[in-house]
Structure 1
Amino acid sequence: MIIDSLLEFSVAQALSATGVSTNVIDLGSDRDIGPGRAMWVVIQLGADAASAGTYQVDLQTDDNSAFSSPTVIGSVSPVAASAKAGARYVMGMPFANERYLRLNYTLGGTTPTLNVNAWLTDQDPTSWQAYPDGIA
């Protein structure tokens, strides 16, 4: 899969406390994306999550890049026991949003850790196919 660097929220972002994605996606203007090609937010773990932690990832939108009044428009809560390296969590991108998008990672528990890659894509996750090394 080819990933556009302008559509990446996080690249190998290591978290041990609640925080936001390294990158903010600027859609260029306040507008509804509108019906058309479906978009997906993909969160992929780069390492096993700490089993003693609790995790929630919120997709936030706002009309300014400082996110002074963010609105949550999507959410996913990985379960620590199944949050292993390579695991992917996918949420559909809502049509209604404001100009800027980011992810907010909420970590709880005694020793939470999370290493994530996250991006926005228009490739339907039901059609993704993994191949062993050496096969294209």
Structure 2
Amino acid sequence: MKDNPYKRLPPLERKPDGTPYRMTPAQRKQASALIRQECCNCEDGNCIVLDDGDTCTCPQTVSFSVCCKWFRWAVLPLAGTLEAEIYRGRDLKRCAVCGGVFVPKSNRAKYCPDCAARVHRRQKTESERKRRSAVDS
């Protein structure tokens, strides 16, 4: 019998009161899409890990709590924002440009990574233009 990699995964985190972390309906929808798209142990809606000869529906697709170790440790980190929304709700910020939620890399972060590149490029262009215009010809 081969070793099941699912057994070697760390246990699921729980809130201080012992309850599992819960997802909102929007987060659950994102999680279900992630399960269908990414490398989850889910095939045609059935969990491969829990398959003991009889098909078993993937519990993570029908639950609002984070109840699957494979989903938690192998799939959820692929969507950093979703993981942060579920586990670190207070550490998130909203982008000043697009309004999207992102995990800040510092306490001064103001823009999501996508908008940050555009904003900083625009700011640098304006700064250079101002510097060049200040030079006497």
TM-score of the two chains, using structure 1 as the length reference: 0.23
More RCO (CA 8 Å, sep 6+):
1
Higher strand content, 1 or 2: 1
Higher helix content, 1 or 2: 2
TM-score of the two chains, using structure 2 as the length reference: 0.23
